[in-house]
Amino acid sequence: MTPELSILLGSGFSVPEGLPTVSSINNKLRNLKENDFYLTSAQTAGFYNSDWRDPNDWSSYTDKHFAQEFTTFYRDVVLNGDVEAFNYEVFYDYITDFLRYKKDDNRISKFCDEFRKPFHKKSFLDDDHNLVWRFCKILNQLVADLLVVPRFYEDVSYLNYPPYDPFFGFIRENLTDRTVNVHTLNHDLFFDHMANKHSDLWQNFTDGFSEYGSPYYGQISIDHKTSDGVIHKTYMVRLRFYTGDYDNKLRLFKLHGSIDNCILHNTRTGETVRVKRGFGVTDFYMERFDEEAKKYAYEAPFAENEPDYLTGTTEKIRQYNQPFYENLFTHFKKNLLNSNLLLVIGYGFQDKGINEFIENNFLIYNKPVVVIDINKPNSYIFQKYQDQITFSSKGATGVPFEEFMSWKK
């Protein structure tokens, strides 16, 4: 059997590339103001990053104002004004616990009653559940928006990529004689981008999505500048969809989903599929053969607005048994069992579910783990399995290539 290497990436892996830290996301969200972000009529949300303002901003005033006031309520009332205690994943748990189990129902209902008074709204669309449910979707999109880096969508190629060269070189050397399974808890697109564009990696890369044979399309509008002016065109582009086939040697498993994953629902058959949204895609379509008309036709599936990724300290663990994520974690388990080395970068060992997978499928078999981080994680894992763990405090970009290679078994 071909030997395997397993890698686990946490948020610390992407920080040197400029992706926001958890603390910076917390700082942005705990002071959320309605004028900070837009919410379109299609219920897509994002932060303002330029002078542009949504011309239909008035139409989303209720939901935007609720987002601001509910965040303030959580910070000032639930957290008793302890702004440093604000954690966006715990906040997400608070929201979903109410939606699922009516937790803290009395306080939230009282807040919603006070919120509705100036609006004189009694519609079921603005009852407690719907107000909070819509904000949950807004929050999901705002977190995702903070992780969007447009250049990660660019079609470019790299011969090298300092200061990550030692890490990517280590992967390249391992690909000569083994399968490399990269598992990430990150929702951002940094590793996806590099694995697709780096000259040493792209030919070996797979993430379980495929463009070949895909019946799913997205619509993209482009303004072409010509000598006569600007020509506006709209194109259909084929989208990559999840097949679950990992048919190459460098395999990426995004265990908690991705900001570019979009869930489509076929309203005719009830089928659910995940596609890669791509850059600039607006509307989605599915090509099918119409048996009665004996020709192909497009039909519009229902597309969920919020990207498909997991968040919340406990809410994400509840999703591990959903078919899509259950499949990813089945791969995670198998990969750990088949690997003779686990390399962990930028993960603080604070996720109970992930820790159990590592312990039950790797550590109990007395196999070695290399942990790279700026600070040594505070976890029972390090005390219980200290003889198996090698720790480096040099961070994702501070380990030289020779040191990486010393861990290659």
Is 77 in contact with 97 (CB distance < 8 Å)? no
> Cα separations (Å) of 389 from 5, 146, 150?
16, 33, 37
- The domain ranges of the chain are 1-18+151-207+247-257+309-409, 22-146, 209-243+260-306
Q: What is the reported pLDDT for 268?
A: 86
Structural contact between residues 312 and 99, judged by C-beta atoms closer than 8 angstroms: no
Query: 261-265 and 302-303: which strand pairing?
Result: antiparallel
Report whether CATH 3.40.50.12780 matches the domain 1-18+151-207+247-257+309-409: no
Is the predicted pLDDT of residue 400 greater than 80, yes or no?
A: yes
77: helix, coil or strand?
A: helix
- Segment 260-319, tens digit of pLDDT: 999 999 988 889 999 999 898 989 999 998 888 899 999 999 999 899 999 999 999 999
Which tokens belong to 122?
């009694």
The residue whose two tokens read 């949504």 is 54
- Alpha carbon distance 246, 137 (integer Å): 31
SS3 25: helix
Cα distance between residue 129 and residue 193, in whole Å:
38
Q: Please, which residues have CB within 8 angstroms of residue 307's CB and are 6 or more apart in sequence? A: 140, 141, 144, 187, 257, 258, 259, 260, 261, 262, 277
> How high is the mean pLDDT of the chain?
94
Is 70 exceeded by the pLDDT of residue 191? yes
Query: Two tokens at 306?
Result: 């919020």
Closest CA to 407 of 104, 33, 48, 7: 7
Q: For tokens 């597309």, what's the residue?
A: 303
Task: Please tell me the predicted confidence (pLDDT) of residue 166.
Answer: 98
Q: Is-contact 375 393, C-beta < 8 A?
A: yes
Q: In the structure, what pLDDT confidence band is assigned to residue 376 with cuts at 50, 70 and 90?
A: very high
- Measured distance CA(331)–CA(349) in Å, rounded: 20
Instruction: Specify the pLDDT at position 379.
Output: 95
pLDDT of residue 38: 95
Q: How do 284-290 and 272-276 pair as beta strands?
A: unpaired
- pLDDT classification of 54: cutoffs 50, 70, 90: confident
**Inter-residue contact 281 to 219 (CB < 8 Å):** yes
Residue 124: which pLDDT band, with cuts at 50, 70 and 90? low
Residue ranges of alpha helices (H) inside 33-104 are 61-73, 88-101
Which residues pair with residue 367 across a beta bridge? none
pTM: 0.95
What is the average pLDDT across 49-75? 90
Residue 362 CB partners (closer than 8 Å, separation 6+)? 6, 336, 337, 339, 342, 369
* 230 burial via Cβ count (<10 Å: 0-12, 13-18, 19+): exposed
